[in-house]
Amino acid sequence: MLSILRKARLKDKEMRILMLGLDNSGKTSIVKSIMGEDIHSVSPTLGFIIKTIEYDGYKLNIWDVGGQKTLRTYWKNYFEKTDTLIWVVDSTDRERMDDCRQELASLLLQERLTGASLLVFKNKSDVPGCMNEAEIREALRLDDIHTHTWTIMTCSAMTGHNLQEGLQWVVQDAKDRLFLY
């Protein structure tokens, strides 16, 4: 029923993208890089930032929400009508991978995120010694996720590597699942 309702959205071609992850994973840097803004003056997001970009004929509303532990309890306030969840992982932060996995697993159980796709951005991939894609996949137990369409993509907010490809995946997934054209 949910997919039928979503496909009924014939005219708007608008998507709500929720970008979450632990603090210091690079969510705001990714958004700024996508928008062509300066990424060298980023400070921790203490609430949320909404940026809108036109991409391939779609209007993408990206909600970048702070990831500090004290803010995570408020994440549920942003779930409504989310088409895609972008989960940003700091691939240099080995010590917090258990927290990262637990937070993601908790999100995927939320009823209001049912039907949303999941793009895992493995950020900071340009840093020597970072975890590779297989390590992130295993640490987050991505292969156990059967409730959401998902993919993992290596990226770098600093260089812009794979950010456009991530948006391309989001839009193609939406075309396949949500829209009739």
| Residue numbers annotated as active site | 68
Question: What is the Cα–Cα distance from 107 to 39, expressed in whole angstroms?
Answer: 27
Sign of CA dihedral 7, 86, 41, 68: positive
Sign of CA dihedral 33, 38, 41, 47: negative
11 φ, ψ to 5°? -95, -30
Reduced to 3 states, what is the DSSP secondary structure of residue 41? coil
Residue 17, beta-bridge partner list = 62, 84
* Residue 115 vs residues 25, 78, 103, 108: alpha-carbon distances, Å: 25, 15, 18, 10
Q: How far apart are the first and last CA of the chain?
A: 19
